Structure 1
Amino acid sequence: MSRTPELPADDQIAERIEDVDVASEMQGSFLEYAYSVIYSRALPDARDGLKPVQRRILFQMSEMGLRPDRGHVKSARVVGEVMGRLHPHGDAAIYDALVRMAQSFSLRVPFVDGHGNFGSLDDGPAAPRYTEARLAPPALAMVESLDEDVVDFVPNYDNSFMQPEVLPAAIPGLLVNGASGIAVGMATNMAPHNLNEVAAAAQHLIANPEATLDELMEFVPGPDFPSGGTIVGLGGIRDAYSTGRGSFKTRAKVSIEQLTARKSGLVVTELPYLVGPERVIEKIKDGVNAKKITGISDVTDLTDRKRGMRLVIGVKTGFNPQAVLEQLYRLTPLEDSFNINNVTLVEGQPQTLGLRELLQVYIGHRVSVVTRRSQFRLTKRRDRLHLVEGLLIAILDIDEVIQVIRTSDDTEQARTRLIDVFDLSTLQAEYILELRLRRLTKFSRIELETERDTLLAEIAELEELLASDLAIRTLVADELGDVAEKYGSPRRTLLTEAKQQPAGAKRRKQAPEDLEHADVPCRVFLGVTGRIARVDLPIREEGPTTITVPKRRSKHDAVRSALDTTSRTEIGAITSRGRLVRFSPLELPTPAANSVQLGAGVRVHDYLALPDRSERVLAVVPLTGDVPIALGTAQGVVKRVVPSAFPNKPDFEVIALKPGDELIAAAPAPDDAELVFVASDAQLLHFPASAVRPQGAAAGGMAGIKLGADARVVHFTALSADEVEQAVVATVAAGGETLMGTDPGSAKVSAFAEFPGKGRATGGVRAQRFLKGEGELSVAWVGPEPALAVGSDGSTRTLPEPGAKRDASGTPLEKVVGAIGRRVG
């Protein structure tokens, strides 16, 4: 029989009702919710660059032993462990964070090694029961030394487990991998960067705490996206590095290729950050259907694991591919915007930080980690030394120790008597009582004495380290360098200046074929440090075209090669491998109107996307004309080739090099020019260019200079008839027993007229007398006066005044000269 529960009296119910102001309750609840979202979910910590869920995933995977040298486990298991122990916000959020840390297109340095379908830019990942995961090698640098009291541990959500408040983070994860998140009333969007560049900037800031933003940007010129692409416009990057906020545009890497004999197309090999090929294809189809995009015949996605990204866009016959590309940049995600908003947690407070402040916070964290680690290790070694010293006492008087123990009634009495008789501590006495008989051999005593000596040396080293703030900061810098060397990779994203538009000009909805970029005269400059820039020249009806030289010369302004052309004309870059690579100067940065500052240029190796970092670009040359190009190799071979003999290929060999040989230089050389070789043994040879008949592109050249034993060519050039009289010879000799680039050596500058001409394939004449200790020429240059010498970083160096005798010795230099080139003027 059911019973109806007795209801409380009305006055009892009334006592449980409290009047609450709705506005106050909503305000308080909302603030608590906002606080939770900001600090526990959405914003990364500036020290390790991780959100709480990411930090907990890496820590738990480390606790589970999911190291790179062990097998993968199901992602569902990782998600379950993280959710059950540390993160009570649901499995979907945990798996999403795990997936992102495994995607190479999302993070510049992934921390999770995924096995299975972890998604793409257009598709989501498979369910966690189908995928497997383990820590990637870089993740070990994030969690190393956690057992050495390097960071504070805090309780989990129910106080049943402990978790790190922050990871040690030997990798500057916030700058390297970036971050994005939406909190309450604020959001963060940080771009990924190159690990090598960030580590170099941090090392520079450690060595120079007062370093300016401009100095740091010499190391970190801009973001480096996992997908590559091109950043157009550096002004927004500087704003972001200065204030924490800025925006810039990113472009896909697109090349114009001949798809068939009669059809050209656009081949996309890199897309803007987080833009997938399906999204691009969809926008192109929508534009074509709406008749906003013209000139497109078809779009084919040939992306696969072997070739990577490859999106082929066919261009209809009669349309200018370059104009079609500009149209696609405006109307599709082939050009996208990236807005930087560096909001991060610093000491528990959301702050917007620039590049310098982000590096300072990270360096401070690493200094704290290294200090606490060193103190922990010092304590451990002192404790161990204390026990080892007690064992040595016991072994030296082992018979008496045994007698004391045997005559004791119990363990407590034995411990007390050992302390009194041998003046031991409680820990030492306890350790001796637990000593095994096998440790009483003579060999064990030798081991203990060796261990004692090692511990004393390590303790002294740690005490010296902890006593010096400079030593700790130096160790932090060294560890950063080791991490960068181990996990760093070359830059993928190209940086270029934006095209200037007239003030107040509105962007046109339709792009006429040839009006986006006029085919204007320009001059392309290649610097000796590998930077390339373009200067647009005014169109003049009469008189020569001139350019303006900046009053204050910047870095990298020594010129290796220059070429007059037009912005839409293809030109060639000749490399040290004997190759010619076709390219267009259209996207080259233009430092300023009618002026030259190669420091604002782009690295030519990155611009041409050369696959091998050791391949150097030596000259820029025309692809048409009848003026031969002279080529000189390190083994003394010379060749002249006419541009009209070049095949119509994107890249090809211009000289057949012998094994072990490489190209040194290339320059225009008409018949009345003078070809000049300078060898490492200080021999200079010059002879008329007419002595070398032009050959085809496949030929291997002929003997140019006869080299001595172990000598090689260090400089080759072609002087025009107008340059011969005013040319100078600049040589720099280095020590024969010192590392190249460390000894400034000596230099001299002589008039080229002092060097008599010799026949081709002869040894030439001496160009510099070596001082004691000097073994060879490290740098040489022949060209019109004056010469401009630079260091390896592009900064200018001072050469002796011209006028030295042909075979005189050099004048000692104060700084190392890395290269010599022409001055612009």
Structure 2
Amino acid sequence: MTEPTDLTPSGRLPVTIEEEMRSSYLAYAMSVIVSRALPDVRDGLKPVHRRILYAMRESGFTADKPYRKSARAVGDVMGKYHPHGDSSIYDAMVRMAQHWSMRVKLIDGQGNFGSVDGDSPAAMRYTEARLAKASSFLLDDIERDTVDFQPNYDESENEPKVLPAVFPNLLVNGAAGIAVGMATNIPTHNPGEVIDATLAMIANPAIELDELMQIIPGPDFPTGGIIMGRSGIRRAYETGRGSIPVRARAEIEEIRKDRQAIIITEIPYQVNKATLQEKIADLVRSKEIEGISDIRDESDRSGMRVVIELKRDATPDVVLNQLYRFTQLQTSFSANMLALDDGKPRTMGLKDILEAFLRFREEVILRRARFDLNKARDRGHLLVGLVLAVANIDEVIALIRAAPDAATARESLMAREWDASEVVPLLELIHDEGNVIIDGKVRLTEAQARGILELRLQRLTGLEREKIQGELGEVAQKIGELLAIIESRPRRMEVMREELLAARAEVATPRVTEISDALGDQTDESLIEPGQMVVTITRDGFIKRTPLEVFRSQNRG
């Protein structure tokens, strides 16, 4: 008699549809959150942007090299690291090359990369690109074990989990993305102000938010504009969420006799200029806004200029306030500063983001110092062997000449015990523990023996021997500096400060978004033509407002 089993005919355990849907959906949600839609607080990049920058660097498409076809870079990214459609990769690359999307461009593009009017970029076979200079501050030292790597989708390559960014790119270039059940929308900021705030946190880790906001008063959008009020900024920086009203920069000019125009030179971030003009035209046709006679776009290479020509009897301030109310000449940027912190989504304020970056950057400096220390010690170890060989050159040459082959020569050099008087102070100088000294004698290691066999005859001259000693002194000095970085946190913070100042000199630019203390809310009064009115109250308590001229004409008889 067989025992009962819960297996299905196919040999699988039965699973309820609720359990399957729950587990599958959670797996999908976490994949979107971690691997696609949200940026990492450390380098401010999503996986696709990180892969583009890394692949372009690996292919040599750096700022000091000629432009290369965008299709080639997209192909490298898709084939090695990002197994998705080429259009999504190219769209991400294009955005990093648009000066109206990024506060600091990470891609230097050549060709048609779209426009602020929403025009599509040219196909990737027509455009060319290379890394912008600012990208070097995100990628430098990646080969020096500064960050962890992981296998790519087919485990044929390794890709970085994060880039060793020198400055807080998340705040500088912001981010926008929609995940499953959550979304992020981080505004761009002025790079000089962000770096200054980071330096202030290095100097005083307990700095208060009010002090940081004196350095970073608010977002700095690449398209300029005017932020109306500071309360939304304060809430965003304190809690990670806040609504920030942004208004276009507009001036009223007299373009010819008795005719005035509203001149728009800056628009809110992420507003499509062409769509904005279409909306204004629709409002004029539907007579929701009166007083506008013509709209034309006079933008050129020197900057944006949209002319809204007014009728003779129009009041410019009233028309402008109506435009602020009914069009995207005034919008609200809904800040939601959500990013991955230690692999988990977290809503962070300004200080939280800077603290997370500082922790990461200190770890990068520490890992780089350990990597360089190992390299320096390996080099110092070889130089000690060369010093020992030069000091006993006749015996070394005799051993090598007597050996039938290189392997035997190497074993003979390692088997011989050499006088350690020449190398003891050198070993102490470079903190080398590779050679063991017993009874004043020392044996060469295999690495040192190989180095001696590869020694060129010209290095046996007196001048070359001095060079070996000089290089050993430089290595010893470098080892001392690296040990100081590893053992002293203040020294690590000083290194971080120096690198931030170097980045600031390259990426800092003047602020383009103005912050006004005036509120952006429009009252009904600001939308009404000014004029004298007569207010009458009937016996039944009804109130009526009548223009003075109309009232007089009605009561003349």
Task: Name 1:338's counterpart in structure 2.
Answer: 333
Structure 2: which amino acid aligns with 1:494? E
Which of 308, 311, 320 lines up with 1:316 in the alignment? 311
Equivalent residue letter for 2:172: V
> Secondary structure in 1 aligned to 2:227?
strand
Show the counterpart of 1:794: none
What is the aligned partner in structure 2 of residue 353 from structure 1? 348
Q: 1:512 aligns with which of 510, 516, 528?
A: 528
Pair 1:65-2:99 in alignment: no
Q: Which runs of structure 2 are paired with 1:529-544 in the superposition (5 Å)?
A: none
Hey, what's the Cα distance between the residues in 1 that align with 2:370 and 2:111? 43
- Structure-2 separation of matches of 1:301 and 1:345: 41
In the other structure, the counterpart of 1:377 is 372
Question: Contact 1:229–1:492 at 8 Å: present in 2 too?
Answer: yes
Tell me, what secondary structure is at the counterpart of 2:36? helix
Deviation for aligned residue 1:18: 5.9
1:28 alignment partner in structure 2: 23
Give the conservation status (yes or no) of the 8 Å contact 1:277–1:301.
no
- The structural deviation recorded for 1:453 is 1.2
Unmatched segments (≥5 aa) in structure 2? 1-6, 419-442, 532-557
Partner residue of 2:448 out of 428, 436, 440: 428
Give the 5 Å matches for 1:334-483.
334-419=329-414, 420-422=416-418, 423-483=443-503
Q: Which amino acid aligns with 1:432?
A: I
Q: Check whether the contact 2:229–2:520 (CA below 8 A) recurs between aligned residues.
A: no
Deviation of 1:417 after TM superposition, in Å, equals 2.3
What letter corresponds to residue 220 of structure 1 in structure 2?
A: I
Report the CA distance between 1:109 and its aligned residue: 0.3
The question of whether the paired residues in 1 share the 8 Å contact of 2:249 and 2:267 is answered with: yes
Does the CA contact (< 8 Å) of 2:63 and 2:132 recur in 1? yes
Aligned residue for 1:200? 196
Rounded Cα–Cα distance in structure 2 between residues aligned with 1:498 and 1:19: 64
Deviation at 1:238, TM superposition (A): 0.4
Contact 2:146/2:364 (8 A) holds in 1: yes
**Contact in 2 for aligned 1:266/1:314 (Cα 8 Å):** yes
Kept in 1: contact 2:255–2:261 (CA 8 A):
yes
Cα separation, 1, equivalents of 2:51 and 2:284: 47
Q: Higher relative CO (CA 8 A, sep ≥ 6), structure 1 or 2?
A: 2
Q: Specify which of 202, 208, 232 is matched with residue 236 of structure 1.
A: 232
**What stretches of structure 1 of length at least 5 have no aligned partner?**
1-11, 516-825
User: Secondary structure of 2:417's partner?
Assistant: helix
Asked whether the 8 Å contact 1:74–1:128 carries over to 2, the reply is: yes
Q: Distance in 2 between matches of 1:13 and 1:416?
A: 66
Secondary structure, aligned partner of 2:243: strand
Aligned to 2:103: 108
Structure 1 distance, partners of 2:372, 2:520, is 58
- CA displacement, residues 556-588 of structure 1 (integer Å, 9 cap, x when unaligned): xxxxxxxxxxxxxxxxxxxxxxxxxxxxxxxxx
Partner of 2:73: 78
Q: Which amino acid aligns with 1:270?
A: E
- Map 1:486-505 to 2 at 5 A: 486-499=506-519
Equivalent residues of 2:251, 2:262 under 8 A apart? yes
* 1:282-313 deviation per Cα after TM superposition (whole angstroms, max 9, x unaligned): 111111111111111101101111x2111011
Deviations 1:531-561 (A, max 9, x none): xxxxxxxxxxxxxxxxxxxxxxxxxxxxxxx
Give 1:13 shift.
10
Read off the aligned partner of 2:311 and give its amino acid letter.
Answer: K
1 or 2, which has the higher strand percentage? 1
The answer as to 2:315 corresponding to 1:295 is no
Following TM superposition, by how much is the alpha carbon of 1:194 offset from its aligned partner in structure 2, in angstroms?
Answer: 0.4
CA distance in 2, matches of 1:514, 1:334: 22
The Cα of 1:276 is off from its aligned counterpart by 2.4
Code of the aligned partner of 1:285: A
Matches within 5 A, 1:760-775: none
CA distance, structure 2, for counterparts of residue 75 and residue 18 of structure 1 = 49
Task: State the 1:88 CA deviation.
Answer: 0.7
1:152 partner letter: D
1:141 corresponds, among 137, 144, 147, to 137
- C-alpha deviation, 1:17, in angstroms: 7.1
Structure 1 residue 128 displacement after superposition: 0.9
Q: Which residue of 2 aligns with 1:99?
A: 94
Aligned length: 499
Q: 1:344 to 1:15 in 2, by over 3 A?
A: closer
1:384-427 deviations in Å (ceiling 9; x for gaps) = 11111211221222121110111224333322321223322221
Q: Counterparts of 1:510 and 1:475 in 2: how far apart (Å)?
A: 54
Counterpart in the other structure of 2:171: 175
Contact 2:264-2:307 at 8 Å conserved across structures: yes
- AA paired with 1:126? A
**Are residues 500 and 40 of structure 1, via their aligned partners in 2, closer, same or farther at CA, if it must alter by over 3 Å?**
closer
Output the TM-score relative to the length of structure 1: 0.59
* Residues 490-538 of structure 1, C-alpha deviations (whole Å, 9 max, x = no match): 000000123387xxxx9549810249xxxxxxxxxxxxxxxxxxxxxxx
Distance 1:500 1:251 in 2: 8
Find the aligned partners of 2:226 and 2:100 in 1 and give their Cα distance: 15
2:142 matches 1:150: no
Q: Deviations over 1:453-472 (max 9, x none)?
A: 11111111221222210110
> Structure 1 residue 277 and structure 2 residue 293: aligned?
no
Q: Which residue of 2 aligns with 1:162?
A: 158
Q: Aligned partners of 2:342 and 2:525: how far apart in 1?
A: 48
| Amino acid in structure 1 at the alignment position of 2:177 | G
What is the CA–CA distance in structure 2 between the aligned matches of 1:74 and 1:91, rounded to whole Å?
14
Which residue of 252, 258, 270 maps to 2:248?
252
3-state SS in 2 of match to 1:313: strand
Specify whether residues 436 and 39 from structure 1 end up closer, same or farther in structure 2 by C-alpha distance, changes over 3 A only.
same
Give 1:90's aligned residue. 85
Q: Equivalences for 1:501-580 in 2 at 5 Å?
A: 508=524, 511-514=527-530
- What's the CA shift string for 1:690-748, capped at 9, x where partnerless? xxxxxxxxxxxxxxxxxxxxxxxxxxxxxxxxxxxxxxxxxxxxxxxxxxxxxxxxxxx
User: What's the TM-score, normalizing by structure 2?
Assistant: 0.87
**8 Å contact 2:247–2:520 — kept in the other structure?**
no
RMSD: 1.7
Counterpart-to-counterpart distance in 1, 2:8 and 2:47: 44
Q: Encode CA deviations 1:325-357: one digit per residue, 9 max, x unaligned.
A: 111111111101100001100001000000000
CA distance in 1, matches of 2:10, 2:474: 74
- Letter matched to residue 159 of structure 1: E
Distance 1:344 1:198, change over 3 A: same
Specify which structure has the higher proportion of helix: 2
CA contact (8 A) 2:321 2:526 kept: no
Aligned-partner SS, 1:148? coil
Provide the residue aligned with 1:227 in structure 2: 223
